[in-house]
Amino acid sequence: MRAGAPALVLSLLIAAAAEAQESEKEPPPGWRVEPFAIENRSADFRLALQGYVQADFRSFPDWPSGEDGAGLHADGFEWRRIRIGVDGRWKELSWQLDVDPASQDIREGKALRDAWVSLRLTRSLQVRAGHMKLPVSYELLVSNAKTDFTERAAVVEAIAPNRDWGVMLYGQVRRVLEYQAGVFAGDGSQSQNRAGTTGAGRLVLKAARWLDVGASYAQGGVTADPVDAEVEASPKGFSGWTESGFRFFPPPFVDGRRVRWGVDARIQKGPAALWAEFLEGRERRHGQGPSFEDLPELRGDGWSVNAWWLVTG
């Protein structure tokens, strides 16, 4: 069970905090014990428990949902996310591991989220290996715990890739250019629409203190299920759905190159901010016609714009 490691670390951190509170003795020299964290600044070491919970509660008084009670406006409560894990640092080495026990099917490994280790060589060159998000789409790279809206834009959910196993180089050059570039085993380790080996990269130009401009690109290959009279083939193309569960674009059958690219810009001046993003995805359909002929390339794109004003805080 993948949740075992965070649970063990959680127990150790809680025990350490409780022991430090009950004991009259000071911690060993150099060590500092906090709730759910231990740190040694002289050794440049820190280990901390991280996590958050998000839930949905829906109620529609005086609005019957039908005989089966399964309409889109049915009452209900749902644990959306229960993230728990650990992150740490020791000198130039850092790591993170977190899982989501609220995932629909833990037995298939869907509880795993981040599981990576990073090595900082210089400010402009760092290496990360493990299970992580592919560097495409600024909105996707922002944690669910830190997004300004309750849900991500539909275009991001439909086109942007997800987490997969891989190796990535990243860093910052002269404080004006940030980059991420990596090779991954696929574009979503928990998706049945997963592509094969995928390369992905992202550049962010810090044009001014108040302006960031970014561009992302990813490319991989999708292999269609073989034709078998006894086993039904599964479509592997892009699909789109709303947060209510309505699927407005079912996945088509695709085979061949899959490309994603996008641009985004973020403007922030004082308490006001504006953020815009455009994403496009393309998939080839080799041999997917009625007589196994090639079909035209599938293309999907979309954009989103967010604006906000910080009143206080």
Site of tokens 């490319």:
219
Per-residue pLDDT of 244-268, as tens digits, reads 778 888 999 999 999 999 999 999 9
Distance CA 304, CA 40 (A): 44
Token reading at 213:
């401009």
pTM: 0.84
Give yes or no for a contact between 57 and 77, defined as CB atoms under 8 angstroms apart. Answer: yes
The pLDDT, as a whole number, for residue 102 is 79
Q: Which of 54-63, 132-141, 247-256, 291-300 has the lowest mean pLDDT?
A: 54-63
Residues facing residue 117 across a β-bridge = 95, 129
Give the containing element (helix H, strand E) for 95.
strand 93-99
Greater model confidence, 193 or 232: 193
Question: CB within 8 A of 308, min separation 6: which ones?
Answer: 148, 272, 273
Give the confidence band of 56 by pLDDT, cuts at 50, 70, 90.
confident
Per-residue pLDDT of 222-235, as tens digits, reads 999 887 757 788 89
Q: Which of 195, 127, 132 lies closest to 162, judged by CA?
A: 132
CA-to-CA separations, 236 to 166, 229, 250, in angstroms, rounded: 21, 18, 10
The pLDDT, as a whole number, for residue 35 is 87
Q: Which of 309, 231, 237, 217 lies closest to 271, judged by CA?
A: 309
The domains of the chain, with CATH numbers, are 1-121 (no CATH), 123-313 (2.40.160.10)
